[in-house]
Chains A and B, each alone.
Chain A
Amino acid sequence: MDEALLRSLTPDVLGILVRRGADFAAAEDAVQDALVKAVRVWPADPPRDPKGWLITVAWNRFLDAARADTARRRREDLVDEEPAPGPAPAVDDTLWLYFLCAHPSLTPPSAVALTLRAVGGLTTRQIAQAYLVPEATMAQRISRAKRTVSGVRFDRPGDVATVLRVLYLVFNEGYSGDVDLAAEAIRLTRQLSAAIDHPEVAGLLALMLLHHARRAARTAPDGSLVPLAEQDRGRWDTEMIAEGIEILQAALARDRLGEFQAQAAIAALHADAPTAGETDWVQIVEWYDELARLTDSPVVRLNRAVAVGEADGPRAGLAALAALDDSLPRHTAVAAYLHERDGDLEKAARLYAEAARKAPNLAERDHLTRQAARLNAHRPH
């Protein structure tokens, strides 16, 4: 049973149903039913034409549901409001689905859930487990999202930037469960980059690959965080890094720089260094300057201060940090690190302890508490 194949067919099948005139919400339910049936039936009786099988089963499900729904629909008068699906031969089904599921009218959590289900082919239960919410909550979130986008026309081009933000969220804020959301985000971004030729899509894919390649080295066996400088670089996935760099270089060569390409360039410079000491911090600072021009985000400025501290010394880093709002998340942690580098261990220990109290998650809190403890252990109490 090839679940990856099954899930890669999801957007195609869904697109075809919508093209045949099914409304998006009903089509999505029907495809979900067909997927569940496929998981049950295929292992013993694999179809010759998996996609054809899915389309047939989903279409029949849709028709059955439509007949059963007719009475209820009349009550809700939905039929009148339903826009006629326009013929859209030029629009790629998969691409249209990505745009629909990341529609600006959706909140980020709704867009994430809808993308994982309609484009990724995950079940509601899997998505709920991944985001640590009850299944009923996730089901409600998805059906509300489907209602929100049900009037979106098939032939209206979407916004690729919104789609990229959603995929970035899936990669970066995925939690746990039996689905590896980081890998899922990579799969979906790969699929998107096959459907649309866009340097920022390539940039995001490169960024994901370059970070994913370091995953094995990011946590110690006891679950504690390992900072980049202390990671065992022998545990980085060199093939994935090579692929990320190749994708990034091809994108950069097109001279349409965007924030994801710039972020990927920084990740590539880290990946390129055989040891932490050989990191090209000067070039990293230059990329952060590019990134600040593109996004002007406070997080970028904070990361830039760290890079400046490495390139020009901790005093320069502290000067860059002083220009930033100290209520920024992780501002205190960065200050602690720079003061430690500057030799003020007492201040650094105090700031690490304060940063631990402000940490947004347990792994970071434990890490920062350990840093404070490490410095306190060397001082007489």
Chain B
Amino acid sequence: MAKYLLLKHYRGAPAAVNDVPMDTWTPEEISAHVQYMNDFAARLEETGEFVDGQALAPEGTFVRYDGEGRPPVTDGPFAETKDLIAGWYVIDVDSYERAVELAGELSAAPGAGGKPIHEWLELRPFLTAPPTITE
């Protein structure tokens, strides 16, 4: 088994094919999209490949240490150029091929006009613990 992170972006990924802001879809199209996402997560759980799924707020802050006895420095809101993560799934799958297949399914979620969004999703393998037997 291998774990992968499926990253969804608010911005920073290449533009989706069907790239229309959600608040200009019809309410029915939004419902269909939400339903598809719920079904996707439920399917992952049924197949035993689901590890985690979370969504993130678009706002955030950069924080860094500013030396002994001083409070950390914060810098926000994010600049318009920053890549912005919207959320993720962590999946545990048999193979890279299966991970690609699932990412493709997620990218096919319906959007404006009921057509797939064709959103670009980022697929990242986890670095894992070393195996017991190496020779």
Contact = CB atoms under 8 A, between A and B. Distances in A.
Nearest to B22: A369
A222 interface: yes
Most interface-central of B26, B27, B29, B35 (chain A CB within 10 A): B27
B27 A370 contact: yes
B25 A373 contact: yes
B31 interface: yes
Size category of the B interface is 10 to 19
Q: Chain B binding site: helix, strand, loop or mixed by DSSP?
A: helix
Nearest to B29: A373
Contact of B35 (A222, A352, A356): A222
B30 interface: yes
A104 to B, nearest CB: 26
Interface in A208-266: 222-224
A348 to B, nearest CB: 12
Q: Chain A binding site: helix, strand, loop or mixed by DSSP?
A: helix
A322 B55 CA distance: 31
B23 A372 contact: yes
B53 to A, nearest CB: 10
A381 B24 CA distance: 9
A222 B39 CA distance: 10
A252 to B, nearest CB: 40
A373 B34 contact: no
Most interface-central of B29, B31, B38, B55 (chain A CB within 10 A): B31
30 contacts: A222-B31, A222-B34, A222-B35, A222-B38, A223-B38, A224-B31, A224-B34, A349-B23, A353-B23, A356-B23, A357-B58, A358-B57, A358-B59, A360-B57, A362-B55, A366-B30, A366-B34, A370-B27, A370-B30, A372-B23, A373-B22, A373-B23, A373-B26, A373-B29, A373-B30, A376-B23, A376-B24, A377-B26, A377-B27, A381-B24
The 8 closest A-B pairs by CB, nearest first: A372-B23, A353-B23, A370-B27, A373-B27, A376-B24, A374-B27, A369-B22, A370-B30
